[in-house]
């Protein structure tokens, strides 16, 4: 009986997750909806898991304009495998105006969520504006595709440490930080 319940629960979770998914996104459809220079979430033709329509936002709930990256784009891998759930590298130091591109390497779905109380004071509105396709405050979309990417510009944000985590894998210790100089 326990095995049957477990199987039914697994099927119910799969159906629920599938119901939350959106239409496949291509690079063209993602670019068609992007307005400013920060690259669209889940670029490269990947398919992401969309948030329910009632919580999806454009990334700008503060009436602040997104600022395009003017510097280097840094890469961070999102990993979930036998070695654990982690961002690699877990600490990254960048300059104001740089961007960070997170790539799903294994163990999806992954996302990037910033702790509002662990980022520099006065940075939340600009950071939120620079985050495309958010699903909530300072929360990027879930991406369930290996190779899927999410890029955030750190242009216009104050210097300091920006601590973040992967929502579905926080309990497994998947957290990291970006220090903006």
Q: What does each of the 181 residues of the chain score in pLDDT, given as a tens digit?
A: 433 333 333 333 433 333 344 333 333 333 333 333 333 333 333 333 333 333 333 444 567 899 999 999 999 999 999 999 999 999 999 999 999 999 999 999 999 999 999 999 999 999 999 999 999 999 999 999 999 999 999 999 999 999 999 999 999 999 999 999 9
Domains: count for the chain? 1
Range of the domain at 13: 2-180
pTM exceeds 0.75, yes or no: no
Task: Kindly state the DSSP code that residue 168 receives in the 8-state scheme.
Answer: G
CATH number at residue 60: 2.60.40.420
Closest CA to 138 of 159, 161, 164: 164
Q: Around Cβ 179, how many Cβ atoms within 10 Å?
A: 13
């Amino acid at each position: 009986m326990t095995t049957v319940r477990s199987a039914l629960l697994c099927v119910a979770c799969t159906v629920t997750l599938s119901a939350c998914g959106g239409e496949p996104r291509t690079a063209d459809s993602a670019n068609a909806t992007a307005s400013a220079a920060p690259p669209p979430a889940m670029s490269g033709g990947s398919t992401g898991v969309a948030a329910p329509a009632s919580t999806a936002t454009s990334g700008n709930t503060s009436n602040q304009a997104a600022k395009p990256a003017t510097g280097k784009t840094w890469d961070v891998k999102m990993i979930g495998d036998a070695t654990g759930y982690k961002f690699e590298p877990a600490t990254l130091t960048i300059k104001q105006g740089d961007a960070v591109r997170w790539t799903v390497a294994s163990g999806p779905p992954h996302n990037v969520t910033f702790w509002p109380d662990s980022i520099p004071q006065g940075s939340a509105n600009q950071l939120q504006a620079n985050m495309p396709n958010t699903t909530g405050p300072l929360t990027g979309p879930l991406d369930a595709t290996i190779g899927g990417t999410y890029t955030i510009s750190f242009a216009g944000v104050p210097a300091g440490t920006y601590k973040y985590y992967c929502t579905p894998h926080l309990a497994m210790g998947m957290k990291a930080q970006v220090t903006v100089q």
